[in-house]
Amino acid sequence: GKKLGYTFNHRNLHNVSLGQGQEVVAEQALDLAAKEGHWVILQNIHLVAKWLSCLERKLEQHSEGSHRDFRVFVSAEPAPCPESHVIPQGILENSIKITSEAPTGMHANLHKALDNFSQDTLEMCSQEKEFRSILFALCYFHAVVAERRKFGPQGWNRSYPFSTGDLTISVSVLYNYLQASSKVPYDDLRYLVGEIMYGGHITDDWDRRLCKTYLEEFIKPEMLEGELCLAPGFPLPGNMDYNGYHQYIDDALPPESPYLYGLHPNAEIGFLTQRSERLLRTVLELRPRDSSAGQGAVGTREETVQALLEEMLEKLTDEFNMAELMAKVEERTPYAVVALQECERMNVLTAEIRRSLAELELGLKGELTMTSDMETLQDSLFLDTVPESWLKRSYPSTASLGSWFADLLARISELEAWTRDFSLPSTLWLGGFFNPQSILTAVMQTTARKNKWPLDKMTLQCDVTKKSREDFAHAPREGAYVHGLFLEGARWDAQSGTLTDARLKELTPAMPVLFIKAVPGDKQDTRGLYPCPLYKTRQRGPTYVWTFNLKTKESPSKWVLAGVALLLQV
């Protein structure tokens, strides 16, 4: 305080943590501090959004006539989305703003993780060698799981708030276990760290598997024998002092790359491409839209939208006649039921597309008053994005409007071909279904009825063929051939029939046709197989469909860390 020109001691400080009905206390502290020249610290103001307007008025009230030493400090967590920005503009404009940025890159994150400890920490355990080795491995684990978020869905399906508290508590658990036992309880440590300390944040089963796999790779008996590498070219260091570990990070850690996380370099290309696309999309949306941009620009905009909607209405086929299709079905087999359900859902979607486009066309001609929904649809058509009302009745997709509409027409063609006689197509386009799970379940139902097997005891077996769609003339006697799948994080080696490393810049190579058949669950051999999740889009997460077991010569853990998954759309 003296350096700033006034004296300060702890009696001059009012520290209020908001969120527990402390608003009145905060107001009293502000009034007293303004009069006496004290400091007020208001923590977590994001938790009291309704009170912030009152805080703004208080600060404005005390901005004049208060003691010259009066200061107010406020803190808040970053908002997860623009809708959560609750701090009033007046407070932001009249304050000096300081942000605490998280470190980026493995080098900074690993140093930051180690900074939570000291030489005293390293010396406090009786089993010093074991304690130091596992502590350093936990620091690397913490840095990896925190920084892996930057790779988007290929890193983690969902974003989790891992904190330094998770790391320090894990080290405390490690200390207690080693003090109580002469042997290192690797299984117990992995479980406590992976399922409770860090796993307590995780809500997705595939993310839980990833966390568990990291710990299985980093915390195991080999770590004490000098045979463990935390990343390619980065062995676990031996017994060092605190400064020695920091120096080891500077000297031995390889340059920043996806390899440090167990990922393929393509993962970096993928997330940088998506980030660039979002930036360009934002720039595109900032273009002028109203009449102030000039009459020529508006005319061009309306003409573009008019031409596009006319083209779409012309290409859009008639809805499926459900009564006629149902009359055509001789037997309601599981496959026929799926086809009918898909046609019904397609009718709902195409009806909304036709209705909204026809309405907008009348609005552009001046025959209807333009509503907010019509203006939103016009904006979407002009910006080449899929309108919200269509997406609600559609399927998950990350495509632009042009690609999405072409894909829609292809889906309609597939359904038209299938419903001509309702015989199963030679190969099914799995990505062309609103609900891909339904056709995979139909495969199991058909086999269960034929062999009189219990449906709940069955599972799907996936065999990757060496052929493409054109090589199949008819459907198999049992099961189904499916095409249109892509692999992210690896590629399929048709010669050896196994997973192998992806080629650089081939982000999502296409898979050959897959033969899907149902077998009793107890007869499936899972050795040498990688349980690969199948998602509808690259967003992963809630678009999960099924799990297919793919053959691998290497350890399945390699593909878990690489975030390998099958996709129905790219």
Superfamily of domain 2-94: P-loop containing nucleotide triphosphate hydrolases (3.40.50.300)
Q: How many residues does the chain have?
A: 570
Q: What is the pLDDT of residue 275?
A: 83
Provide the 8-state DSSP code for 510.
B
Report in angstroms the alpha-carbon separations of 96 from 16, 72, 274: 20, 11, 33
Cα 404 to Cα 406: distance, rounded to the nearest angstrom: 6
In three state form, how does the secondary structure of 83-147 look? HHCCCCHHHHHCCCCCCCCCCCCHHHHHHHHHCCCCHHHHHCCCCHHHHHHHHHHHHHHHHHHHH
Q: Which residues contact 567 (CB under 8 A, 6 or more apart)?
A: 485, 486, 487, 488, 508, 534, 535, 536, 537, 538
CATH fold group of domain 106-265: Helicase, Ruva Protein; domain 3 (1.10.8)
Residues in a beta bridge with 39: 13, 71
Q: What is the pLDDT of residue 401?
A: 92
Give the CA radius of gyration of the chain: 30
Domain with CATH 1.10.8.720 in the chain: 106-265
Closest among 463, 484, 492 to 411, alpha carbons compared: 484
pLDDT in tens, the chain (570 residues): 333 334 445 568 888 888 777 888 888 889 998 998 899 998 888 888 888 889 999 888 888 888 888 999 998 887 777 777 788 888 888 888 888 776 778 999 999 999 999 999 999 988 989 999 999 999 999 999 999 998 989 999 998 988 899 999 999 999 999 999 889 999 999 999 999 999 999 999 999 999 999 999 999 998 888 788 999 999 999 889 999 999 999 999 999 999 999 999 999 988 888 889 888 888 887 776 654 444 444 457 888 899 999 999 999 989 999 999 999 888 889 999 999 999 999 999 999 999 999 999 998 888 888 888 999 999 899 888 999 999 999 999 989 999 999 999 999 999 999 998 888 899 999 999 999 999 999 999 999 988 888 888 889 999 999 988 888 888 898 899 999 999 999 999 999 999 999 999 999 999 999 999 998 887 777 789 999 999 999 999 999 999 999 999 999 999 999 999 999 998
Surface-to-core class of residue 423, CB atoms within 10 Å of its CB (0-12 exposed, 13-18 middle, 19+ buried) = exposed
Provide the 8-state DSSP code for 48.
-
Q: What is the pLDDT of residue 352?
A: 94
Longest CA–CA span in the chain (Å) reads 92
Torsion, Cα 154 157 163 164, to 10 degrees, reads -40
Using the structure block, give the residue that is written with the tokens 């900032």: 286
Domain with CATH 3.10.490.20 in the chain: 424-569
Residues in a beta bridge with 480: 516
Q: Say if CB 143 and CB 218 are below 8 A apart.
A: no
Q: What is the pLDDT of residue 298?
A: 45
Q: What is the pLDDT of residue 297?
A: 46
Q: Say if CB 478 and CB 427 are below 8 A apart.
A: no
Strand, helix or coil for residue 14: strand
Closest among 313, 270, 365 to 563, alpha carbons compared: 270
Domain with CATH 3.40.50.300 in the chain: 2-94
Superfamily of domain 424-569: Dynein motor C sequence, barrel region (3.10.490.20)
Domain with CATH 1.20.1270.280 in the chain: 299-423
Cα 151 to Cα 127: distance, rounded to the nearest angstrom: 37
Closest among 354, 140, 158, 166 to 252, alpha carbons compared: 140
Q: Say if CB 389 and CB 373 are below 8 A apart.
A: yes
Q: What is the pLDDT of residue 523?
A: 72
Q: What is the pLDDT of residue 290?
A: 56
Q: What is the pLDDT of residue 22?
A: 82
The CATH architecture that domain 299-423 belongs to is: Up-down Bundle (1.20)
